[in-house]
Chain A
Amino acid sequence: MTKIDLFKLNKSDYIAAKSPVLIDIKEAIYLVINGKGAPGKEAFNDAVSALYAMAYTIKMTRKKQNKGDYVICKLEARYWSESALPLNQIAQEQWKWQLMIRTPEHVENTDIDQAAQALLSKGKTASVGNVSLGKHHFGPCIQMLHIGAFEEETRTIDQMYTFAATQKLSPSGEHCEIYISDPRRVPPERLKTILRSPITPT
């Protein structure tokens, strides 16, 4: 049986270009978990850990049940806050986020419940209970690869927004990031992150 790799099957959604590009992303299914707090801090890391534990538990359980195999996609995150100010002017502790892992359509809610129960029975983080299956439709977006520390994203974002303006478009909705490299291991200057922002005509 062939292994589904959504990251490769939807290559055009994950273009990692060195200059801004316009893309249109269709509705897709994700495993999601929501939370609040600075990225890389306790609540965030706990959510990442819960999301991955669920993702792998669901995948391997389905595989054991002969329900097909697939590759676990890269971690994506959408960020926002309750304030009207741009995110970089708000303390990171106030950031809200939704962590997402794109998942094949045939994964069902019963898979989620089973996985959460199994993990909870072995004393894994209670946050696994907050992981759910959700649809999201990004629609038209502007996207670009950022290489370097997360703190330096502004320079890439500025470039994206400038480009958007020339196209008579403006950013609308939550800033999204797709983590290509593993921040625990890759030195900050070599980190690869796809930045994505939904847009609307001005």
Chain B
Amino acid sequence: MAIYLWLQTKLILMEYAIMRTVTQKSYLSRIVKTLNYIQTNLDHELTLEELAKEANFSPFHFHRIFSGMLGESVKELVRRLKLERAAIELQTTSMSILQISINAGYESDMAFSRVFKSKVGILPSEFRRTEHARFPCSSKACIRYVTSGHISSFEPLQIKECKMNVMIKDINTMKVAYVSHQGPYQECGHAWDKLCSSLATEGLLGGDAKMLGVSYDDPDVIPAEDLRYDACITVPNDFQVIDDIKVQTISGGQYAVTTHIGSYNNLSDTYRKFFGQWLPQSDYESDDKPCFEVYLNDPESTEPEDLVTDIYMPIINVSQQSPAVKENSND
């Protein structure tokens, strides 16, 4: 009997491990597919929607998964691949340096030369003359421009270092009062002031009221002035709209939750690790809705290094047949 149970447990665990490898492979192959799409379309403006569709990830989370696994954003990758292509063109074609500069996305050969020198150490003209000169590989994931036109694999960032404490939580749908902010995340204070002062007079602060932030954009890829953010406070269901405070619901369901300790300015490091490393190794897929943050202390009276923020990532189980094991940490 004992042996039977042991075997059964072992089998479940094996199944679990196999599934996990399958998930990870799926993330890898989807990113590889996107990489090839990017390389093929280096000269076209790529939209978030088309990239996310190519990789079959939610547009809400595509950028974070991508840069988290690769160590560079799409924009940085495109800029780098173009430079690598330019290096190849310098050595294998007789195209003018100005033309190569324009192909690489620069307005002038001077701007191109300056950037090129900062990466390679020598000017494009010298590079062209030096047969053995090579463009150095600066990609953490070892992705290079390939002339054959097909990238077959890459090395995702440091997976063994991923020791994040992650809880899987089922949460109820929450009604929140909110004020939107557009601009650098650091400047969202005015939205909070407006929201808190309107709710305070109504007696809606304190008790169970939670303070949530919904950030719709990844600050690594979106210009600071375009970042969209909602400052939200949970309110009772019978909440009546006051002043020009708006109301929305944060949809319930399964969320992966990790805690960020420290300055809000470093939140994106935790996001990158959460999406780029924890997620691909988990048995989950990010769901097609935004993440949110729950702030657990007061930034006015707390030293930045002591700030505590829970990050909620909406998830769905990759496979319905997955064993009902709830993981608390991923190591």
| Residues of A that sit less than 8 Å from B by CB | 3, 5, 7, 49-50, 52-54, 56-61, 63-64, 71-74, 115, 117-125, 128, 181-182, 184-186
Q: Please, which residues of chain B bring their CB within 8 A of the CB of A123?
A: 236
Given contacts A49-B206, A124-B206, contact A64 B297 (CB under 8 A): no
Q: Let me know if B300 and A71 touch, CB within 8 A.
A: yes
Q: Is the CB of A54 within 8 A of B206?
A: yes
CB neighbors of A among B27-82 (8 A)? none
Q: Which residues of B are found within 8 Å of A5, using beta-carbon distances?
A: 300-301
Q: In angstroms, how far is the closest chain A Cβ from the Cβ of B311?
A: 14
Contact of A56 among B198, B206, B259 (CB under 8 A): B206
When distances are taken between beta carbons in the complex, the residues of chain B under 8 Å from A71 are 300-301
Cβ contact within 8 Å between B203 and A117:
yes
Q: Which of A3, A50, A61, A74 gathers the greatest number of chain B CB atoms within 10 Å? A: A61
Given A72-B298, A181-B306, A182-B308, residue A57 in contact with residue B203 (CB < 8 A)? yes
Nearest to A69 among chain B residues (CB) is B193
Residues of A contacting B259 in the complex (Cβ-Cβ under 8 angstroms): 185
Please, which residue of chain A has its CB at the minimum distance from the CB of B259?
A: A185
Residue pair A118, B202 in contact (C-beta under 8 Å): yes
| Whole-angstrom CA separation of A197 from B238 in the bound complex | 47
Give the residue name and chain of the A residue nearest to B204 (CB). Answer: A122
> Counting CB contacts under 8 A, is B200 at the interface?
yes
Q: In residues 210-235 of chain B, which contact A (Cβ within 8 Å)?
A: none
Picked from B197, B203, B207, B300, the residue with its CB within 8 Å of the CB of A64 is B197
Chain A residue numbers with a CB within 8 Å of B198 are 64
Chain A residues with CB below 8 A from B298, complex form: 72
Q: B207: which A residues are within 8 A, CB to CB?
A: 49, 53, 119, 124-125
Residues in chain B within 8 A of chain A (CB atoms): 193, 196-207, 236, 259, 261, 296-298, 300-302, 306, 308
- Cα(A120)–Cα(B67), bound, Å: 48
Given known pairs A122-B236, A181-B306, the reply for A57 and B206 (CB within 8 Å) is yes
Most chain A Cβ neighbours within 10 Å, of B205, B296, B302, B308: B205
Interface hub of B206, B207, B298 (most chain A Cβ within 10 A): B206
7 examples of A-B residue contacts, CB within 8 angstroms: A57-B206, A118-B201, A118-B203, A119-B206, A122-B203, A181-B306, A185-B296
Question: How many Å lie between the Cα of A54 and that of B205 in the bound state?
Answer: 8
Q: How far is the CB of B47 from chain A (nearest CB, A)?
A: 40
Q: How far is the CB of B257 from chain A (nearest CB, A)?
A: 14
Count, A-B residue pairs, CB within 8 A: 81
How far is B238's CA from A123's CA once the two chains are assembled, in angstroms? Answer: 12
User: A180: nearest residue on chain B (CB-CB)?
Assistant: B306
B205:A53 contact, CB within 8 angstroms: yes
With beta carbons under 8 angstroms apart, the residue of A7, A52, A185 that contacts B206 is: A52
How far is A185 from B306 in the complex, measured between Cα atoms in Å?
10
Contacts A63-B193, A71-B300, A185-B297 given; does A120 touch B203 at CB 8 Å: yes
The answer to whether A121 touches B203, judged by C-beta atoms less than 8 angstroms apart, is: yes
Picked from A64, A72, A73, A128, the residue with its CB within 8 Å of the CB of B200 is A64
> Which of A50, A61, A120, A184 contacts B296 (CB under 8 A)?
A184
Chain B residue nearest to A192 in the complex (CB): B306
Tell me whether A185 and B308 are in contact in the complex, defined as CB-CB below 8 angstroms, given that A57-B205, A60-B196 are known contacts. yes
Shortest Cβ distance from B302 into A: residue: A182
Task: Name the distance in Å between A109's Cβ and chain B's nearest Cβ.
Answer: 17
Q: A60 near B300 (CB under 8 angstroms)? A: no
- A61-B301 contact, Cβ under 8 Å, with A117-B203, A182-B296: no
Contact (A182, B297) CB under 8 Å given A60-B197, A60-B200: yes
In the assembled complex, the Cα of A49 lies from the Cα of B197 at a distance in Å of: 19
* CB neighbours of A56 from chain B (8 A): 196, 200, 205-206
Q: Are B206 and A53 in contact (CB under 8 A)?
A: yes
7 more A-B contacts (CB under 8 A) besides A118-B202, A122-B203? Answer: A56-B200, A57-B200, A60-B205, A61-B201, A72-B298, A117-B203, A128-B206
CB-based contact B197/A61 at 8 Å = yes
CA gap between A120 and B206 in the complex, in Å: 11
**How many Å from the CB of A2 to the closest CB on chain B?**
13
**Nearest A residue to B310, CB-CB:** A185
Who on chain A is nearest to B201 by CB?
A: A61
User: When A and B form their complex, which 4 residue pairs have the shortest distance between CB atoms, in order from nearest?
Assistant: A53-B206, A118-B203, A60-B200, A64-B197
Q: Are A61 and B206 touching (Cβ within 8 A)? A: no
Q: Output the nearest chain A residue to B299 by Cβ-Cβ distance.
A: A71
Q: A118 — which chain B residues lie within 8 A by C-beta?
A: 200-203
Minimal beta-carbon separation of B204 from chain A (angstroms): 6
* Inter-subunit contact A74/B205 (CB<8 Å): no
Q: Decide yes or no: A63 and B197 within 8 Å by CB, A7-B301, A182-B308, A185-B308 being known contacts.
A: yes
